[in-house]
Structure 1
């Protein structure tokens, strides 16, 4: 393994340690029912196991529009991912996106799980799709894509994506911390 590859592996590992998992974004479910409680757990934290229980109850027992049921699967996927259950998270993301493929966040979130599984081509495809669809939290999508860029050895693209994440959300500490690792050097074009 050459020094450049080793450096990229170290940088990727450092970015994963800093966060523990790539960033994710929940999908809003309107109302006061279990689906909304599931969304609240995915978006604002709390105990993931309890959130998963609420999401499962919402999916199994609560009548809701297809878009909300899709969002509830995606939100349960986020909670499963937080527990390190990549396969369960993928199952939920796939189910949610099969019901309603209009949730850009679902693609970004599934991309985050692909990052954790080191399936970088799949991650890039999903994250790009989420960005193209206008994900509600594009700064998260650009941050996750920067992780993929770096893992694939495209340091310049990683820098630009971290920079874009900070431009979109100036107080996004995770992206700012990653961006601070870079040193921009201008190439001398005169000769």
Structure 2
């Protein structure tokens, strides 16, 4: 996959069983790049650069789908899961092999406590080669924790560490 990605931990103030999933953002150009920066920042809540980029008739298809993913990440952060799902679904319609869209749509489902749907999307992201597989494995671990399956959660966190030995969030889960 040629999509440049950046991993960011999104801490959401929701009533979900675990408040942090791993999100994967993608980078685009111009206003799309500003959208990417907002999605990458755990503190930014503004979709304005994304909205502006998506109104640009000259935005490439590649940048459009990346911008949709990034805006969806911000919508998730804001708790607007319906808008996030719309963005991720549109990105998936444009490119069914966009692992980042599946991973982040999984986060929407996770936040909505639709754990089976979240798991299916995290697994799909892995199957098609998401750029940061440890993020998907970490999120799978969170789903197993929410479903009160600690042994499976541990296995998922170990997979995350296998994919990225420096991944501190998974290490902390295994130590905790």
Whether TM-score is above 0.5 comes out as yes
- 1:115 equivalenced with 2:114 (yes/no): no
Contact 1:21 1:82 in 2 (8 A): no
- The Cα shift of 1:62 comes to 4.7
Aligned alpha-carbon RMSD (Å): 1.7
Choose from 144, 147, 160 the match for 2:139. Answer: 144
Assess if the C-alpha contact under 8 Å between 1:147 and 1:158 holds in 2. yes
1:69 aligns with 2:64: yes
Deviations 1:31-88 (A, max 9, x none): 3x11122122213445221xx1000000012512212211111110001111121111
Listed as ranges, the gaps of 5+ residues in structure 2 are: 1-15
TM-score normalized by the length of structure 1: 0.77
The structure with the greater share of residues assigned to helix is 1
Q: Which runs of 5+ in 1 are unaligned?
A: 1-11, 182-191
Deviations 1:106-125 (A, max 9, x none): 10111011111110110011
Aligned partners of 1:22 and 1:142: how far apart in 2?
Answer: 10
- Distance in 2 of aligned mates of 1:62 and 1:82: 27
Residue 132 of structure 1: CA displacement? 0.7
In the alignment, which residue of structure 2 is the partner of 1:134? Answer: 129
Give the Cα–Cα distance (whole angstroms) in 1 for the partners of residues 117 and 23 of structure 2. 16
**Aligned position for 2:37:** 40
Q: Aligned partners of 1:48, 1:179: CA distance in 2, in Å?
A: 31
Larger radius of gyration: 1
Query: Is the aligned partner of 1:27 residue 2:23?
Result: no
* Aligned residue runs from structure 1 range 1-191, under 5 A: 13=17, 16=18, 20-29=19-28, 31=29, 33-49=30-46, 52-181=47-176
Greater shift, 140-149 or 93-102, is seen at 93-102
Aligned mates of 1:62, 1:26 — CA distance in 2: 22
- Equivalent residues, number: 161
Q: Distance in 1 between matches of 2:168 and 2:77?
A: 19
* Partner Cα distance (1:157, 1:131) in 2: 17
